Structure 1
Amino acid sequence: MNLYPGVQNPQVLHEDPYLQQRKPDAGYRLLCLFRYWNLIQYWFPDKALIGEDWKKVLKEFIPLMLAADDELKYTLTTRQLIARIHDTHANFTTYNRIIDSLRGFYLPPVNVYFVNELPVVSKIIDTVLAKASGLERGDQILAVDDLSVAEIIEKSLPDLPASNRPTQLRDLALSILRSTDSINTITVKRGERVFNTQLIRGTVKQINLWKFPDFPYQRNTSFSMIAPKIGYINLGMIRNKQIDSVFDVLRKESEGLIIDCRQYPTDFPLDAICRQIYPRSQPYVQFPTGSLDYPGAFNIVGPLITGKKNPDYYRGKIVILVNANTQSSAEFHSMAFRQAPNAIVIGSTTAGADGNVSGFALPGGLTTQFSGIGVQYPDGKETQRIGIVPDIFVERTVEGIREGRDELLDRAIEWIRGKNK
């Protein structure tokens, strides 16, 4: 075991993946459990936030691992174990044919987004198949074949590794309409009308559920004046080299700025932006990190400082947009941006998984990871599982999705303009 230079997250060394053991015997299965349990026990900085006694989890999983006597059972039992640490970073990190085959290779022609515990059609991916399936944007899915969505959630969520329920639903949205069958029956609610329809799926070669974000400015804009006197920075596309020129424009032409953190950053513009929106340097984060001398103990590193003395800092109102897609580095950026004067966060619960990850192998060629450092505000307030808590909570609605509105962006514009504070 070592710690990565600088960041100080655990570097797991010398753990054999036992690639030849695709169907591990009882000894290797127990080795999987013990290896995973010990790494979490002594090196996971957020173990206290798991929500249960980790020692009891060990006792619970010994008979489960012994009973997992084929490749399918072993894979699923290991995933159940991973899910128990409630970390959105924690999952299988390489392609897993067992999990993929269970989900099926036929994909729906639509994206869905959970609203009030029901998946809602948020985007049409394949217009031909969606029309043949009788689906429109804003349709609520009530059931798939004979299973209600509530039953699917109850069955699926315990096995979905994530820090919180909204993020579990985010991930479930990617698979709930996936299937081993090309056609099956779903129950749909459109307004007051409830009806059954045949969902016609396509193959993975036909349909790419990750193709585009829901709104055009999220896929083709790094910076724009999205409304009169209101600037818009897309964290998913903005580059460090753009920041100085962007803020030259903002100082001249804007009264407010929206920073959209609902996508993962392609660069790391945290310091470049904070130098523009902070009047002076200030601490924004600290990290609990593991100890090589005392495994299981964690030292606080930091706080880190960003920004600089800047009498010409940006004085307009600032809104940071977040939702369940705001994860890891996007959360890290958000917690720094929110500490600027006149800045607030608008949106919904974020993924609650911040900090650099530590990966490792398990017997049978399985690979996984966990959040290797804790991430806290300088006052010690946690972000793991909790996420970046909005100042104004705004979630998408069925009506807003049907009408194609970005309700978080709309609320941000209202706030900047002084409406409905």
Structure 2
Amino acid sequence: MALTLRTLTLDDLPVFQRLVDASFLGDTPDDGAERYRDLFEPDRSHGVFEGDELIGGGGVQTREITVPGNGPHPVAAVTSVGVKPGHRRRGVLTRVMRAQLHGLHDEGREAVAALWASEAAIYGRFGYGLAAEFTRLSVPKNAAFRRGVAIGDAPVREVSRDDAMPHMRAVYEALRPDRTGWLSRADQFWGHQFADEERDRGGLSAYRYVKHPEGYAVYRVKQDWQERGPRGELHVREIAARTPEAYAALYRYLLDVDLIGELKFFTAADDPITLLLDDPRLALRSRSDALWVRLADVDRALAQRRYGSDVDLVLEVSDDFCPWNAGRVRLTARGGEASVRRVDEAPDVELDVASLGAAYLGGTRLATLARAQRVREVTPGAVAALSHAFLGEHEPHCPEVF
């Protein structure tokens, strides 16, 4: 039977939610559709049907992402992508990806799309590049800070959710314009990020909220009572602070919580905690892929961000999936600001659109991609110059899965 694709409607949400849950081998609770209603944008969601049966689909959240040096810009936050078991490897996902990316181009919407990948091998073929990683961090309780670390004397207190939320929103919004990779959060996204029903907890406690005048932390606890004493785990959901002193104070508070043996955190790749510790080796770290970025419109996307050094180079971009991006562009950056124009001149660098997406947030070096045979240098020194220009002030980080 032939496959068809169409934009979804609000009436499709229950069956769409069942599809998404099934594709991730999960179950849909009775209120599953209602729970995600405020996150569902039907006019930005596509479904692939075989007859009347929905067998695949994906959606977009309308959000902003902070880009290097130039604050928040619109991003198509791709989410809820799934194919029903038994219908895979039939081109269903390709249809969804094409509808999303070609739709962004045809409608002149977001120049950049981003997603978290369930499997890292999937999205490269659609032009997504690995743009940000996260660190799995584990630090033992009471780990000492090095001499000279200031934590100040401002109070750090646990408060109720109702007391914490307005403060958290204010801190987050104050920080977001300068934190590459952070997303905008409307009311529904705050609710989803800190959903706290029993099914959200994974065997851990309810959220605990920690308030500092210049920051906040949110965590759960996994109790573990052993013969030699309690060895509970403190699982951090989020830490944010306006000052380095406040950041250190919040970490100090969490590391000293009683009955805990280990602090665990999925955090930024350049989280400064290791440099705060007297013994950095106490912080066990492993890195994994986080945010994947796709330039839906190369010309507009490259002009939206700022650059760390001046550069004037011709890039030959390949993009089979979105052919309007393919060709030669001259990227000229002066004083951080860039202009992009189409040219017929000989290229200095050859690369595919996934490599541009990987480098876009300033975390993945184009020089590293060249060593991995993803970028080809034509003019000697061009890759080094381009790689330096793309670097950000800090590692990009997306503190939420969407």
TM-score, reference length from structure 2: 0.28
Structure with greater strand share of residues: 2
